[in-house]
Amino acid sequence: MKYPESFDVIVVGGGHAGVEAALASARSGASTLLLTHNIETIGQMSCNPAIGGIGKGHLVKEIDALGGVMARAADRAGIHFRMLNRRKGPAVRATRAQADRVLYKAAIRGFVENEPNLKLFQQAVDDLLMDGDRVAGVRTQMGLEFAANAVVLTVGTFLDGLIHIGESQHRGGRAGDPPAIALAQRLREMPFRVSRLKTGTPPRIDARSIDFSMLETQPGDEPRPVFSLRGSHDDHPRQMVCHITHTNVQTHELIMEGLDRSPMYSGVIEGVGPRYCPSIEDKIVRFAGKESHQIFIEPEGLTSNEVYPNGISTSLPFDVQYAFVRSIKGFENAFITRPGYAIEYDFFDPRDLRNTLETRFVPGLFFAGQINGTTGYEEAAAQGLLAGINAALQVQGKESWSPARDEAYIGVMVDDLITQGTLEPYRMFTSRAEHRLLLREDNADLRLTETGRRLGLVGDEQWALFNAKREAVEQELSRLHDTWLHPARLSDAELAALPGAEPTREYRLEELLRRPDMTYDALMSVAAAGPPVTDPVVAEQVEIQVKYSGYIARQREEIAKLQGQEKTALPDTIDYADVVGLSHEVRQKLTEHRPETIGQASRIPGVTPAALSLLMVHLKKIASRKQKKSA
């Protein structure tokens, strides 16, 4: 049957990408349908119960600034918060939280159900409906047809998903969920470049069978960070501690003995796994010299006895898992509640996408999340948001939006994906961002909220909070700039307490704060420098901006120089064979990657500055010819 109502946008998949996609689309005014296998698993964390981390926390804050829900759900579900790299510079500081799975899913479900423009429907999608080249909707397993102007696919690890535990295999989307086989077949018939990736997860253990008394504890950090601008400590549930243990020589021996029955090493698994998230068998083979590996024992939730032993992801046979787990300190009597496994799945070469995550071959069809070759909830959610908003913008006839590399980690990720493609599951790291000093967690809101507001993603409450913060920061910055402090106005005690060399002449407060050892609080301990701002978030922001100002200015200059390249579009119709002077190799690369701008072309390995010049000359030539014709 044809479903009588039609939608602007259909989002397929209720994972992290799907949720943000559906919410962004709906919030910006498009009537949206979220179609997923199972409404109960919306917002489910397939693997470790944690949100954030280096690079990932940055993404979560950006999603928050753009009106997304991941940060708010993490605040409501977080049972153990940390600020990683707290002692290193602000640009690399990142928030991470262990999340209670149940609370997380419940929070997400709440957001999804309370979104007026969004409807949910439970069914597997088997097919796409087409109208010529363009996507026109989807068909479900039972033959139900839903019409829509745009479709966002966020089907995660489910496409032709194959689960491995030792020598046994079965089809599945993740443990306990069915795979998407019909849809995978249908997509393989289309012109997309498809390959396989692999990821894995550790066995889970019943906490009651672990001897924690022998293990190092890891409490959350104080002061405890908060994810969302709209969040607070009041959102946080009761906090728990994590523990740390280690593998040992005996563990490694047991694993080596079972290696011949590992699907990774017997060649059964063809998909490529992430190098930064290796299975324990991988770590032991590749770094044979290391006698011990760290394991973080993370609680799965307040109401669950299960723990997640982070660091021993494996697809070894269950008997080997059982034995090696029990060789680890504290796990001597461990009861495994779920075996570890690896999963292989289809993903699409992201070089076939535009920077809006619309596919190049099928107008109106967007891909987001794990199917684009990424891994991680945050990476998926960020892409979902971008795809969702662009699907909605397209349907509404509005101009698309995609952040630049210097604006957001989302921009870095999408640009990396579409210009370089990926050979292994792509995870965000701060070292991927050349403008890392500009892209901080602390200024994600300042970078993106205004855009979010313009796109209709940011509600009144968030907007008001944001403006209050922004104004307070600006006011304090100009106060520090305009206020001069003469050393004569400082008491001897104040002078003595001030860090660094004693000021010998009158300085702007800003100049004093820029001194290496100075902090905002230290400066404000001088009565004549006050009154200080009371909100620590504002004070922190002011301090960072002042301290980083030299580097920020330099990065901005660098960016300004490249603006021309980033803004110069390379038309879809360009035939690189016509560009005079390009070498054969460069021609081939450009034809394969089809960059959308000169800037993107510049990041394709092997494309030289001379080649870019040749492209610029070629573009100008085309443009002048056109002008002549029309004149």
Residue 475 interacting partner from another protein, ligand FAD, none (CB closer than 5 to 8 Å by kind)? none
Least spacing, CB of residue 117 vs another protein, in Å = 38
Which partner from the list another protein, ligand FAD, none does 490 bind, CB cut-off 5 to 8 Å by kind?
none
Among 165, 203, 205, smallest CA distance to 333 is for 205
The encoded tokens of residue 439 equal: 């892209």
**What's the longest Cα–Cα distance across the chain?**
85
Q: Which is nearer to another protein, 55 or 179 (CB)?
A: 55
Q: Return the structure tokens found at 622.
A: 């085309």
- Alpha carbon distance 334, 164 (integer Å): 22
Q: Is the dihedral of CA 467, 469, 472, 476 positive or negative?
A: negative
From the list ligand FAD, another protein, none, partner contacted by residue 609 (C-beta under 5 to 8 A by kind): another protein
Which residues are bridge partners to 119 per DSSP? 33
Where does this chain bind ligand FAD (CB under 6 A)? 12-18, 35-38, 41, 46-48, 124-125, 154-158, 173-174, 177, 180, 183, 199-201, 277, 343, 369-370, 375-377, 380
Q: Shortest gap between Cβ of 519 and another protein (angstroms)?
A: 12
User: What is the CA angle 476-477-480, rounded to 5?
Assistant: 85
Residue 18 Cβ vs ligand FAD, minimum distance, rounded to whole Å: 5
CB of residue 508 to ligand FAD, shortest distance in Å: 45
CA–CA gap between residue 564 and residue 462 (Å, rounded): 34
Q: How far is the CB of 46 from another protein (least distance, A)?
A: 16
Task: Please identify, using beta-carbon distances, which residue of 55 and 172 lies nearer to another protein.
Answer: 55
Sheet with 168-171: list strands edge to edge. 168-171, 162-165, 341-348, 194-201
Nearer to another protein, 75 or 416 (CB): 416
Measured from the CB atom, is 464 or 560 closer to another protein?
560
**Beta carbon nearer to ligand FAD, 347 or 576:** 347
CB of 460 to another protein, least distance (A): 36
In terms of CB distance, is 35 or 607 closer to ligand FAD?
35
* Contacting residues toward another protein, per CB under 8 A: 48, 54-55, 84-85, 87-92, 274-278, 283, 286-287, 290, 293-296, 310-311, 313, 429-432, 434, 436-437, 516, 551, 560-561, 563-564, 567-568, 579-581, 605-606, 608-610, 613-614, 616-621, 623-625, 628
CA-CA distance, 119 to 314, in Å (whole number)?
38
Query: 484 phi and psi, to 5 degrees?
Result: -100, 145
Answer left, alpha or beta for residue 505, where phi above 0 means left and psi between -120 and 50 means alpha: beta
* Calpha distance 280→231 (Å, rounded): 36
Q: Which is nearer to ligand FAD, 120 or 569 (CB)?
A: 120
Quick one: what does residue 375 bind among another protein, ligand FAD, none, with the CB cut-off 5 to 8 Å set by partner type? ligand FAD
Binding partner at 513 among another protein, ligand FAD, none, C-beta below 5 to 8 Å by kind:
none
CB of 305 to ligand FAD, least distance (A): 21
The 10 Å Cβ neighbour count of residue 578 is 11
Beta strand segments in 192-325, E: 194-201, 204-206, 216-218, 242-246, 294-299, 306-310
**Whole-number minimum distance, CB 182 to ligand FAD, in Å?**
8
Judged by beta carbon, residue 344 or residue 407, the one nearer ligand FAD is: 344
Q: Are 264 and 315 in contact (CB under 8 A)?
A: yes
